[in-house]
């Protein structure tokens, strides 16, 4: 089996729509059940399909720690029509990932997220045009200032694309904070980080500093700028809508656990 961290890094390089297309190209199983339900167990909630528990890809019974997420996962299974399409089941995929991989490789995944924070997209600024620079400052500076205060340091801003290390103490404090997460939350945190390009924005959602819509807007400053200038491409709009579905599922998971 490939190293899970390699899989996470590969996933970060691919957009969610590409991963969905890869899933869709496979022959999808037919829906074989009438009803999916969240069933309380000693250690959490299982998802039963006509009384039989759903299992993860590693063949263990899927156990979800909290009822709201378990019921939402059951809802995903109930929403499947003639076929079962994993690309349309982001909560189920998150739960599988958390149980099969993140539980055993928690430190590896947390380290990977901390590396995002050390190279966070919010720290890299355009040097022109002035209106775009101002928009970045307006949306990004307050959250970076807040996060720096929370973590006991200050993020370094960089114009252009040349890499520059963030303060080691700051990144270390960020990494330490991730140990408070459950494996399911950490999987969701990683998804938000990947979709937004910013571990700081994921941190802001977790800590209730920014609402999801505000984070989504902050993550798309440059994309929205280009849309205002040139208009929106239909395929790009479809991809963005798909990413938002993945994002919303991860936010729900991060906040509900």
- State the span(s) of the chain assigned CATH 3.30.2180.10: 4-102
Topology adopted by domain 4-102: ATP12-like (3.30.2180)
Q: Which residue has tokens 């209730």?
A: 208
What are the angstrom distances between the C-alpha of 235 and each of 18, 239, 242?
12, 6, 11
Whether pLDDT at 124 is above 60: yes
pTM value > 0.75: yes
**Residue in the block written with tokens 């208009």:** 231
> For 160, left (φ over 0), alpha (ψ -120 to 50), or beta?
left
At 129-172, the pLDDT tens digits run 999 999 999 999 999 999 999 999 999 999 877 788 899 999 99
106-256 fold: ATP12-like fold (1.10.3580)
> How far is 126 from 128, CA to CA, in rounded Å?
6
Region(s) of the chain under CATH 1.10.3580.10: 106-256
């Amino acid at each position: 089996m490939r190293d899970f961290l390699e899989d996470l890094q590969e996933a970060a390089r691919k957009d969610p729509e590409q991963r969905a297309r890869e899933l869709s190209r496979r022959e999808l199983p037919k829906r074989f059940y009438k009803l999916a339900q969240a069933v309380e167990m000693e250690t959490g909630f299982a998802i039963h399909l006509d009384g039989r528990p759903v299992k993860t890809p590693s063949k263990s019974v899927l156990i979800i720690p909290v009822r709201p997420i378990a019921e939402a996962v059951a809802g995903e299974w109930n929403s499947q029509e003639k076929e079962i399409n994993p690309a349309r089941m982001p909560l189920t995929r998150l739960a599988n990932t958390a149980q099969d991989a993140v539980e055993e490789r928690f430190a590896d995944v947390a380290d990977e997220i901390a590396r995002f924070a050390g190279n966070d997209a919010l720290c890299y600024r355009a040097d022109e045009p002035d209106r775009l620079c101002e928009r970045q400052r307006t949306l990004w500076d307050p959250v970076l200032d807040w996060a720096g205060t929370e973590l006991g340091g200050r993020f370094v801003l960089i114009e252009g694309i040349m890499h520059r290390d963030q303060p080691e103490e700051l990144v270390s404090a960020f990494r330490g904070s991730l140990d408070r997460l459950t494996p399911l939350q950490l999987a969701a945190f990683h998804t938000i980080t990947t979709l937004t390009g910013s571990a700081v924005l994921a941190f802001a959602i977790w800590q209730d500093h920014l609402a999801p819509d505000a984070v989504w807007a902050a993550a798309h400053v440059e994309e929205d700028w280009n849309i205002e200038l040139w208009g929106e491409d239909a395929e790009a709009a479809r991809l963005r809508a798909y990413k938002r579905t993945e994002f919303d599922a991860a936010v729900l998971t991060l906040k509900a656990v």
